[in-house]
Amino acid sequence: MSKTDDFLKYITEGNTTKGDFIPVGAAMLDGKTITGAHVKIPLKTMNRHGLIAGATGTGKTKSLQVLAENLSDKGVPVLLMDIKGDLSGLAQPSPGHPKIDQRHEQIGIPFEAKGFPVEILTLSEQDGVRLRATVSEFGPVLLSRVLDLTETQSGVVSVIFQYCDDNKLPLLDLKDFKKILQYTTQEGKAEFTEAYGRISTASTGAILRKVIELEQQGADLFFGETSFDTQDLLRIDENGRGYINILRLTDIQDRPKLFSTFMLSLLAEIYSTFPEQGDSDRPELILFIDEAHLIFNEASKALLNQIESIVKLIRSKGVGLYFVTQNPTDVPEAVLGQLGLKIQHALRAFTAKDRKAIKLTAQNYPDSEYYDTTEIITSLGIGEALVSALDEKGRPTPLAATMMRAPMSRMDVLTDLELSKLLAKSKMVKKYNETIDRESAYELLNEKIKQAEADEAKEKAKQEAEALKKAESKRKTSTTRRRSTAMNPIVKVLTSATFIRSVFGILTKVLKK
């Protein structure tokens, strides 16, 4: 048996699956594509998370697109983080190309051009379905981790949330939270101290500065109502295909704090609301996080710990997370160890540091008698990748250098007209794009402060009136006394004791005579 026959058997047996699967391409040996040696990803294990890595221009985005399309066709909804803005073309069929036909002929998979059901989402003021969450939904623990607070400051945040719960003060947006921070050490200081203990201005000042930092990255647009319901990510169209939800993030590349805040909020909400799925035959939802280093590079240690915990736990909810980045070293080891599927496009070694990173990357893949992993990672062409998945029993499939299939949808963005038409048909835009600013902590506390000021002014006016009344009474009494003592000198003489004794003396002498 020839080396090629051995290899074909090796790949075919390693990619045998009884359940549903996604064929991503055909295996390659010595630079040649082995037609029919299909590399498959079992649908059953796609909730085990994954990684798509490779240098710029090597085909990461196209691999992401292929996975998203095939998941949608299998009835699995998808959420894509579109940092570069080049994924909206999923809504339109590919125009086709002779090179695509040639590629698919080599792979042995017929090419079919088609568009997919797409929903455009946004965190900012770009066109699309607005994603929001309230401060209350975040909760004190998650908010403290996002703000990277100390233990003492986190305790203050917990007390503030408790106060708002006790006094029915909704915390909806950041202005609500900033107002209550101010209230605790100013107008409401006495009330807080009596009920919850003293809160220092140093702590609230430090928290406020962190809130303003988050606000400067656009978080004021994210926090508020109408709050996004994660169940709306699970929609299926009339043809049984899962919706591909594309979150446009082209305008927040320089605001990683907002990106990580949203991601943590979304994952926490999914984990708390989705039912336990266990090991089912298909995932419930798949999330692709493009430019994943934006989350990890700017994340605090507490935030990283939270992300790592959610990555470990969310699989049981039938949710798969796929990180797309240039180098696997961008992803923390604790997260990388949880990723079952790895699609590694080419890496380029320009420096000693690059060569060291490539050696470390190669160690993440199973050993293979057919490949020198360290060498082949640098020699892969555009649209080629090393693929290692998990089979239905959770075991790594044979490592395969793979000629990846082409996307069925357009590998380009929608035109402005196409985007407008897509948004005009969206029911979600109508549901979430109305900004609601109902009465919440900010308004209620302002009203409380105004009432307190009015009561204080009323009490002060009452005290001033009483003081004035007392002063007037005292003045009248003093005036009466002055009048009674300020008599004619003659009257004073006539009423004096000496004068009376003199009169009585004269009368006595007269009577004796």
On average, the pLDDT of the chain sits at 84
Backbone Cα Rg of the chain:
38
Contact 258, 218 (CB under 8 A): yes
Length of the chain in terms of residues written: 513
Containing 403, the helix (H) or strand (E) segment is: strand 400-404
φ, ψ at 131 (rounded to 5°)? -100, 125
Q: Given a cut of 70, is residue 446 above it in pLDDT?
A: no
Mind listing the pLDDT tens digit for each residue in 42-96?
999 999 999 999 998 899 999 999 999 999 999 999 999 888 888 999 999 999 9
Is 292 buried (19+), middle (13-18) or exposed (0-12) by CB count in 10 A?
buried
Query: Out of 129-133, 235-239, 481-485, which region has the weakest mean confidence (pLDDT)?
Result: 481-485
Q: Given a cut of 60, is residue 497 above it in pLDDT?
A: no
Contact 70, 22 (CB under 8 A): yes
Q: What is the mean pLDDT of residues 350-366?
A: 82
Q: Which segments within 235-357 are labelled E, that is strand?
A: 244-248, 285-289, 319-325, 341-344
pLDDT band at 461 (very low <50, low <70, confident <90, very high): confident
* Nearest to 345, CA basis, from 358, 356, 336, 355: 358
**pLDDT at residue number 311:** 85
pLDDT, greater one: 74 or 353: 74
Q: Given a cut of 60, is residue 491 above it in pLDDT?
A: no
Containing 61, the helix (H) or strand (E) segment is: helix 60-73
**pLDDT at residue number 214:** 85
Mind listing the pLDDT tens digit for each residue in 280-329?
888 999 999 888 877 777 666 766 787 788 888 898 899 999 999 988 88
Q: Give the neighbor-by-neighbor strand order of the sheet with 118-122.
A: 32-42, 21-29, 400-404, 384-388, 341-344, 50-53, 319-325, 285-289, 78-82, 244-248, 118-122, 129-130
Q: Given a cut of 90, is residue 367 above it in pLDDT?
A: no
Q: Which residue has the tokens 């696997």?
A: 328
Instruction: Give the whole-number percent of the chain exceeding pLDDT 90.
Output: 34
Containing 53, the helix (H) or strand (E) segment is: strand 50-53
How crowded is the C-beta side of 327, counted as CA atoms within 13 Å? 16
**Angle (deg, nearest 10), helices 151-166 and 189-196:** 100
Q: What is the dihedral of CA 91, 93, 96, 101, to 10 degrees?
A: 100
* Nearest to 246, CA basis, from 437, 145, 356, 118: 118
Give me the DSSP letters along 205-266. HHHHHHHHHHIIIIIHHHBSBSPP-GGGGG-B-TTSPBPEEEEE-TT-TT-HHHHHHHHHHH
Contact 118, 90 (CB under 8 A): yes
Token reading at 159: 């007390």
Beta-carbon count within 10 A of 116 CB? 24
Contact 224, 173 (CB under 8 A): yes
* Nearest to 52, CA basis, from 294, 282, 339: 339
**pLDDT at residue number 285:** 95
Residues 127 and 133: their CA atoms lie apart, in Å, by 18
Q: Which is the CATH superfamily of the domain at 3-132+225-341+348-432?
A: P-loop containing nucleotide triphosphate hydrolases (3.40.50.300)
| Contacts of residue 500, Cβ cutoff 8 Å, sequence gap at least 6 | none
pLDDT, greater one: 384 or 142: 384
pLDDT band at 492 (very low <50, low <70, confident <90, very high): low
Q: Where are the domains of the chain?
A: 3-132+225-341+348-432
Angle CA 424–426–432, to nearest 5:
110
Q: Which residue has the tokens 């990580």?
A: 260
Q: Given a cut of 70, is residue 439 above it in pLDDT?
A: no
Beta-carbon count within 10 A of 457 CB? 10
How crowded is the C-beta side of 292, counted as CA atoms within 13 Å? 26
Residues 343 and 361: their CA atoms lie apart, in Å, by 12
Contact 364, 328 (CB under 8 A): yes
Beta-carbon count within 10 A of 381 CB? 13
pLDDT, greater one: 102 or 395: 102
**pLDDT at residue number 453:** 62
Token reading at 454: 């009015």
- What is the pTM for the complete model shown? 0.81
**Angle (deg, nearest 10), helices 189-196 and 174-185:** 80
**pLDDT at residue number 183:** 86
Residues 381 and 387: their CA atoms lie apart, in Å, by 14
Query: Out of 221-225, 339-343, 390-394, which region has the weakest mean confidence (pLDDT)?
Result: 221-225
pLDDT band at 342 (very low <50, low <70, confident <90, very high): very high
**pLDDT at residue number 513:** 59
**pLDDT at residue number 154:** 92
| Contacts of residue 7, Cβ cutoff 8 Å, sequence gap at least 6 | 27, 29, 34, 37, 370
Pairing, β 21-29 against β 400-404: antiparallel
pLDDT, greater one: 479 or 132: 132
β-bridge mates for residue 21, sequence order: 42
Mind listing the pLDDT tens digit for each residue in 188-245?
888 888 888 888 889 999 999 999 988 888 788 888 888 889 999 999 999 999 999 9
Beta-carbon count within 10 A of 192 CB? 19
Q: Given a cut of 80, is residue 457 above it in pLDDT?
A: no
